[in-house]
Structure 1
């Protein structure tokens, strides 16, 4: 009887081991939690945990692609491994720095200005190890099938009564310098230069006109002298 019970226990243990081994690839290796997992909640702290899988190197960086409704400017870093820095990207952010100890889970926390009005949020994550290995947890469920490298998903409760979206956050980039308009008034220095150029141009024009008039007078006087002399010569003959 004891031998039968013992065999049954061994079989059960092996069955559970096989079950978890088969279910392992579908388990999330990057997890996300929120202190307030509710749509339209404001100033929410999200905690990301990257499970260490490498036995030869530690994490050096985690890149997160933010879901629709959360802009990079709406996110700030709250906590990360020592020496790690936060940097916003076009579609999310990266947090990284010195390699952490091998076998140590990478954990960081961010604060989000406001969660969007959604039922769940998927945060695609890419992990980088010190030896160059990269793990991509970016797949989303399709057709009911569980992906092998699933992105971490945060499920949200319905928004609280009266909750509304806040205004978009201001951009962090500096605005480009405006292009000068054709009707825009010139600066004092430019105005003075323009006046000087106009004066010089007027003076040059005056000299040209004056010279032309003098030349015409000289030609006229020469012609009058030539005609007068010709008449006198004809009279004398």
Structure 2
């Protein structure tokens, strides 16, 4: 084989090796971090459905401390309860969804949590806009929705639902605290004592009135008796004087 052929074959081998190495590196490169959602019952009007969320870590120096999720139309914050979360993380309802957070996760650890939803709405897709916060203050927003058929750079987690089961109907709204009937207040010991103390003078006054009335009546009787007695004495004296005359 000539030197020219050997050199040509060597170049082909080198190019093939470089292409293979490039392909290997491309496959090994991790995909961009993103947020996802899935459900155990991905069906419209499903009751007590469990939704699992995964926020992939993208910071090289900090861990997650909080996730803020905006609920889609048809799911109220009161319809959501926390099912699973990292240790020490708590769920708090907001006006349009909820936050779940707590002690910072280790750098590079994905944030995973699950919620239980009272009932999924009658829809084909549900978007859960998510805002991620890291311990160093970095914020990542996965809130974009597809427009014009183009895939957004930071898409919001979207859950695709199957059609509702035959006969499935929406549940009545959950009662809020303001709609709950308030119990009839029970008077406290202080109020009862005050009431009793207030009633005592009235009773005493009534008794005094009754005593005064009785005194007036007795006094009247005595006066009447005295008048009658005096009249009788006067008549007797007059008759005695007449008989002497």
Report the TM-score range of the alignment, normalised by the length of the smaller protein: 0.5 to 0.7
Question: Residue by residue, what CA displacement relative to the aligned partner does 1:48-89 show, whole Å, maximum 9, x if unpaired?
Answer: 011000111100000000000101010000111111111000
Structure 1 residues 76 and 143 mapped into 2: Cα distance closer, same or farther (>3 Å)?
same
Structure 1 residues 43 and 20 mapped into 2: Cα distance closer, same or farther (>3 Å)?
same
Residue 87 of structure 1: aligned partner: 92
C-alpha root-mean-square deviation of aligned residues, in Å? 2.9
Give how far 1:94 is off: 0.2
Matched, 1:62 2:55: no
Residue 11 of structure 1: aligned partner: 19
Unaligned runs of at least 5 residues, structure 1: 178-188, 193-237
Q: Is the radius of gyration larger for structure 1 or structure 2?
A: 2
Q: What is the TM-score normalised by the length of structure 2?
A: 0.64
Give how far 1:160 is off: 1.0
Structure 1 residues 175 and 24 mapped into 2: Cα distance closer, same or farther (>3 Å)?
same
**Distance of 1:13 and 1:74 partners within structure 2:** 51
Structure 1 residues 40 and 175 mapped into 2: Cα distance closer, same or farther (>3 Å)?
closer
Mapped contact 1:140–1:150 kept (Cα < 8 A): yes
Displacement over 3 Å in runs of 4+: 1-10, 15-21, 172-177
Mapped contact 1:73–1:172 kept (Cα < 8 A): no
- Residue correspondence of structure 1 range 1-237 to structure 2 within 5 A: 4=12, 7-8=15-16, 10-11=18-19, 14=22, 24=31, 29-172=34-177
**Distance of 1:54 and 1:104 partners within structure 2:** 10
Q: What is the TM-score normalised by the length of structure 1?
A: 0.66
Aligned length: 177
Unaligned runs of at least 5 residues, structure 2: 1-8, 183-194, 199-245
Structure 1 residues 13 and 158 mapped into 2: Cα distance closer, same or farther (>3 Å)?
farther
